[in-house]
Structure 1
């Protein structure tokens, strides 16, 4: 009952919105409405889907709210600077749609229900999805859109994961400029929804980690080519600390030491890398990497 009261209080604070024309769209107040799971393919009590969600076509709305969804470090939804509380299943739907939007604009309804409620029968899973969508629209009808088969996160919702992804891809672009503040790039992003135990999050977390390391390497390479060797070394040390067996980062770090004339540092870094590589995988660094510092290393001596 506490969660339902919280949701209704959020809905009660949202006034009628004036949209283009003379139509006024009220929010669902819902206390006397049947549970959404009981109303077929609607996403809300007694409302057909086509009338219940926003169209993908842009509609000019007076006083349109600023919506910000944070997933890094934990789930948080804010509208016009005000924190919005949502039930966990509604949070899961928004989080999945946000991550899915990175690769495709829309998500199949049946697939979404199946991914979020793996152990539930098909009918029950789809009912839970309808309930979650209804809860989301109680907070704001502008958060999600959809049609009979697909749902999506609205384009007006700012997502921190999207911001991070765009910044990282800018660094990976060959035409991008040097970062204005190289130290900011080296900060590891907070973990994606750290307290959530979801199978579909495992791949997303690793994708973000790999993207961050690739962006750091690209930034360091650009700094190195610009003669900013100390800054490049700082960023590469962050990468090898995160992933000690990443040979691309180790090779670039060794190259940076060589460019500033520190052969001793280069050999020490190669020796450290070779020792860890042998201990964990029983393999040696590539011949090309060893030749950069003057030939093969005797791994047995490094043990």
Structure 2
């Protein structure tokens, strides 16, 4: 499909996470912000025609409203469902089984420079990080320290200044009986945080690295 049709299809796919359908006039104004109203509506009609010509059944709607058909599966919808499932405090599923689907960071529509994409792109990025952190925290509570470290390292690697992730990683090292690793991780984070932002770790994170932990780490390195 041509780019103008792909933009309409992408917008409707993301919009469906918020509302079932979309007003045609609003859609035209959002996608063709610099065009006069008559021209933007004409461009939208052409785009919808091209979408329906390319694949029957992608869109539903009438002369006033348009929507992605309910039968269409969207990968972003599945991504969001899995992240929300990982965040749910239920006992009828094993959240680690969902982790591989969210381990690798992936930009939403990479290469697209659209204002209407910015908010959704950031929402999905943060949702993914929260889901991985929540799962790692639950693993740590269950004593799965090696698995906790494996999961949370993907968050720390992507966002090295994210203190909530650093706290989970440091705590997992301590619970696993590796205070030296915890101290090294804390010192690395503290140095980077000061260098990049001129900030110091929070008191809560500092308390994780108690003098007792430091003494243990020193003894273990001898």
TM-score (norm. length: structure 2) = 0.88
Q: Which residue number in structure 1 is paired with residue 191 of structure 2? A: 275
- Please show how residues 110-121 of structure 1 align to structure 2 within 5 Å: 110-121=25-36
CA contact (8 A) 1:107 1:152 kept: yes
- Alignment partner of 1:101 out of 16, 22, 32: 16
For structure 2, the residue ranges without an aligned partner over 5 or more in a row are 212-222
2:37 paired with 1:122:
yes
* Cα distance in structure 1, aligned partners of 2:33 and 2:102: 37
The alignment partner of 1:158 has SS state of: coil
Q: Which residue number in structure 2 is paired with residue 286 of structure 1? A: 202
* Cα distance in structure 1, aligned partners of 2:32 and 2:177: 57
- Between Structure 1 and Structure 2, which shows a larger proportion of helix residues? 2
- Alignment partner of 1:169 out of 84, 94, 97: 84
Q: 1:186: how far off?
A: 5.2
Cα distance change on mapping 1:186 and 1:234 into 2, 3 Å? farther
Q: Which residue number in structure 1 is paired with residue 55 of structure 2? A: 140
CA contact (8 A) 1:186 1:235 kept: no
- Please show how residues 82-231 of structure 1 align to structure 2 within 5 Å: 86-175=1-90, 177-179=93-95, 181=97, 184-185=100-101, 187-231=103-147
CA contact (8 A) 1:178 1:223 kept: no
* Cα distance in structure 2, aligned partners of 1:168 and 1:116: 28
Q: Which residue number in structure 1 is paired with residue 164 of structure 2? A: 248
Q: 1:189: how far off?
A: 4.4
* Cα distance in structure 2, aligned partners of 1:273 and 1:185: 27
CA displacement, residues 34-56 of structure 1 (integer Å, 9 cap, x when unaligned)? xxxxxxxxxxxxxxxxxxxxxxx
- Between Structure 1 and Structure 2, which shows a larger proportion of strand residues? 1
Pairwise CA RMSD: 1.7
Q: 1:97: how far off?
A: 0.5
Q: Which residue number in structure 2 is paired with residue 78 of structure 1? A: none
The alignment partner of 2:28 has SS state of: helix
CA contact (8 A) 2:12 2:67 kept: yes
Question: Which structure carries more relative contact order (alpha carbon 8 Å, separation 6+)?
Answer: 1
Q: 1:156: how far off?
A: 0.3
CA displacement, residues 99-118 of structure 1 (integer Å, 9 cap, x when unaligned)? 11112212221221111111
For structure 1, the residue ranges without an aligned partner over 5 or more in a row are 1-85, 296-303
CA radius of gyration, larger in: 1
CA contact (8 A) 2:96 2:135 kept: no
Q: 1:289: how far off?
A: 0.9
- Please show how residues 17-96 of structure 1 align to structure 2 within 5 Å: 86-96=1-11
TM-score (norm. length: structure 1) = 0.66
